[in-house]
Chains A and B, each alone.
Chain A
Amino acid sequence: KQEVTQIPAALSVPEGENLVLNCSFTDSAIYNLQWFRQDPGKGLTSLLLIQSSQREQTSGRLNASLDKSSGRSTLYIAASQPGDSATYLCAVTNTGNQFYFGTGTSLTVIP
């Protein structure tokens, strides 16, 4: 069974800093990997999706990379802002239907 781990569990950074969130998974035969953002008490919002054949995706200040062979993905956030404070989750699927989620990294950006 696929297992997804996110490190660190929590992170605090001053505003303006660049930061990296990590995600690792045990089964490299993935279909795709997604990064989500979750605000307290809310649902998840998709940030980036990387297909298994891709190495990275970018959206604004966010860049996600994928190294399937080593079972790792990183989410890079440039020039962090207080509005980036949220929990970030990664999820992988081997089939397109069943997704496995990490427990998330709780990010606080200090003004």
Chain B
Amino acid sequence: DVKVTQSSRYLVKRTGEKVFLECVQDMDHENMFWYRQDPGLGLRLIYFSYDVKMKEKGDIPEGYSVSREKKERFSLILESASTNQTSMYLCASSLDGGVGDTQYFGPGTRLTVL
């Protein structure tokens, strides 16, 4: 079974802090994704990566950056956290973007910025 893990289930940070969210997958998947999920807005893609050191912006990249130094690990960075970044953050991975490829999700990190 594919396993996607996220470093924290719950996180509370203060405005202006630098925040790191870590995601690790154990199935040698090429693609990794970061989403945020907000009531009434659904899941929105922040960034995705299709290979080590490669990244592509999603629909809402502003205020975020990412890092993929190793294939199994994809990090989301909030350079200076703001209250409007309070949200549920979900990481996902998929094999290689083929037509029959599904996404596997981690359990999510609920981030609160005070």
Residue of B nearest to A44 (CB): B105
B43, B45, B48, B59 interface centre (most CB from chain A within 10 Å): B43
**A47 vs chain B, min Cβ distance (A):** 10
Contact: A101 with B43, CB < 8 Å? yes
Q: Provide the residues of chain A in CB contact with B56, threshold 8 Å.
A: 97
How many chain-B residues does the 8 Å CB contact rule pick out? Answer: 30
Contact indicator A89/B43 (Cβ below 8 Å): yes
Contact with A along B73-94 (1 / 0, CB 8 A): 0000000000000000010100
Determine if B107 and A96 form an interchain contact, defined as CB atoms under 8 angstroms apart: no
Check A43 for interface membership: any CB of B closer than 8 A: yes
Chain A residues whose C-beta falls within 8 Å of the C-beta of B42 in the assembled complex? 4, 89, 101-104
* Nearest CB of chain B from residue A51's CB, rounded to whole Å: 5
Q: For the complex, give the distance between the alpha carbons of A89 and B99 in Å.
A: 19
Residues 34-57 of A, flagged 1 when their CB comes within 8 A of B and 0 if not, give 101000011111100101110000
- Of all chain B residues, the one with the shortest Cβ separation from A32 is B99
Q: How far is the CA of A102 from the CA of B43 in the complex (A)?
A: 8
* Cβ-based interface call for A99 (8 A): yes
Q: Is the CB of A52 within 8 A of B99?
A: yes
A103 to B42, CA, bound (A): 4
Interface string of A89-101 (1 = CB under 8 A from B): 1010001111101
Known: A89-B43, A97-B56. A49 touches B105 (CB 8 A): no
Q: How far is the CB of B20 from chain A (nearest CB, A)?
A: 19
B87 smallest CB distance to A (angstroms): 13
What residues of B have a CB within 8 angstroms of the CB of A43 in the complex? 4, 90, 105-108
Q: CB of A31 within 8 A of chain B?
A: yes
Given contacts A44-B103, A91-B103, 10 further A-B contacts (CB under 8 A): A31-B99, A32-B100, A32-B101, A43-B105, A44-B105, A51-B100, A89-B42, A98-B58, A99-B33, A103-B41
Contacts of B105 in A (CB 8 A): 36, 43-45
